[in-house]
């Protein structure tokens, strides 16, 4: 009986050892060293690092193009008579009256105002002020009763058959404009229309107070709807830039003192440093960093890093 009991106990012990061994080899429980088992490439879920490395980011691209840019300067100004002469009295005194009003026609030599040069204790004859040319009264800056001198402009007389536009360009733009450059003019009185003009005169000096330069434009053809005194929006076309590499302005990223774009080649995004130049109507010149035909990311670049894999959709034109 004792022998049979010992055998039974041995069988039980062997069975327990087998169960423990089988439990250690159960799938998903661990390896021989007690650590987790890595998923094979053929099955299971890939690691996070592998998943991130293979993520495909969708972007929109365009091709850089070689073209001619036509920069321009926009500036507001006033429509004036091409010939506009200020009228001054021959002697100082009290302005007795002004015999004309804004818009009146006058003849050369016509009396248009009078000045009384008398002083307390003495009387002098009234001095007439006459029109130096035939034309139209374009401005009446003085008022009867005020004291004037020989340096006081009482009236301005001009020829409104020919008009000009006078604009004052900021100093930063003043050196870009030359006589003969073409321009277009827009007027509030003529919405949706533009009139052609040309640069007639560029002042040789800047106004030291406003730091601006006066530029005079002339209409290429007269339009009876245009009148002196109107406000004009002038667009002056400066020298064109031929054979420039051009991309959409929105493709350029300026961050942390860097200026760059993302280019795409072989489904891989590359961070490419660029230097930009002129900007015209949403397009920007690339001075260096790109060649014609290089594909540039215009949408989705905010999610990119250098070397990312991308899937691109194209957009025609720049």
Tell me the average pLDDT of the chain: 85
Q: Which residues contact 183 (CB under 8 A, 6 or more apart)?
A: 196, 197, 198, 199, 217, 234, 235, 236, 237
Residue 270 inside a domain? The answer is: yes
Q: 0.75 cut: is pTM over it?
A: no
Are residues 256 and 210 both part of a single domain? no
Residue 246 inside a domain? The answer is: yes
pLDDT of 72 strictly over 90: yes
Residue 25 inside a domain? The answer is: no
pLDDT tens figures, 98-154: 999 998 999 999 999 999 999 888 889 999 999 999 999 999 999 999 999 999 999
Residue 29 inside a domain? The answer is: no
Where residue 259 sits, what CATH number does that domain have?
2.40.420.20
What distances in angstroms separate CA 231 from CA 198, 211, 265, one per listed residue?
Answer: 17, 21, 52
Q: What pLDDT does residue 315 have? A: 63
Are residues 226 and 213 both part of a single domain? yes
Given 237, 263, 291, the domain boundary residue is: 237
Residue 248 inside a domain? The answer is: yes
- What is the Cα–Cα distance from 307 to 264, expressed in whole angstroms? 10
Domain hosting 61: range is 57-67+242-314
Residue 293 inside a domain? The answer is: yes
Given 118, 139, 159, the domain boundary residue is: 159
Q: Are strands 310-314 and 57-63 parallel, antiparallel or unpaired?
A: parallel
Residue 13 inside a domain? The answer is: no
Residue 6 inside a domain? The answer is: no
Where residue 181 sits, what CATH number does that domain have?
2.40.30.170
pLDDT tens figures, 77-97: 999 988 889 999 999 999 999
Given 159, 190, 216, the domain boundary residue is: 159
How many domains are contained in the chain? 3
Q: What pLDDT does residue 308 have? A: 93
């Amino acid at each position: 009986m004792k022998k049979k009991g010992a055998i039974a106990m041995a069988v039980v012990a062997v069975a327990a050892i087998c169960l423990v061994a089988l439990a250690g080899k159960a799938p998903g429980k661990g390896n021989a060293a007690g650590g987790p088992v890595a998923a094979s490439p053929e099955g299971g879920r890939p690691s996070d690092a592998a998943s991130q490395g293979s993520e495909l980011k969708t972007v929109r691209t365009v091709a850089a193009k070689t073209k001619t840019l036509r920069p321009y300067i926009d500036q507001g100004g006033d429509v004036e008579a091409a010939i506009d002469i200020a009228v001054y009295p021959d002697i100082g005194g009290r302005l007795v009256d002004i015999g004309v009003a804004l818009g009146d026609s006058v003849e050369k030599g016509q009396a248009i105002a009078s000045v009384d040069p008398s002083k307390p204790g003495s009387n002098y004859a009234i001095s007439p002020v006459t029109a130096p040319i035939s034309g139209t009264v374009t401005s009446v800056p003085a008022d009867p009763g005020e004291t004037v001198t020989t340096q006081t402009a009482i009236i301005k007389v001009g020829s409104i058959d020919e008009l000009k536009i006078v604009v004052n360009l900021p100093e930063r733009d003043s050196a870009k404009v030359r006589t003969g450059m073409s321009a277009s003019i827009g007027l509030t009185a003529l919405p949706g229309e533009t009139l052609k003009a040309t640069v007639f005169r560029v002042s040789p000096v800047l106004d030291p107070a406003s730091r601006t330069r006066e530029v005079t434009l002339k209409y290429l053809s007269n339009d009876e709807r245009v009148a002196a005194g109107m406000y004009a929006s002038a667009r002056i076309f400066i020298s064109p830039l031929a054979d420039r590499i051009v991309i959409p302005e929105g493709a350029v990223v300026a961050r942390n003192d860097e200026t760059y774009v993302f280019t795409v080649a072989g489904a891989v995004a590359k961070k490419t440093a660029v230097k930009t130049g002129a900007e015209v109507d949403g397009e920007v010149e690339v001075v260096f960093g790109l060649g014609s035909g290089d594909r540039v990311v215009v949408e989705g670049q905010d999610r990119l890093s250098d070397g990312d894999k991308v899937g691109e959709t194209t957009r025609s034109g720049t």
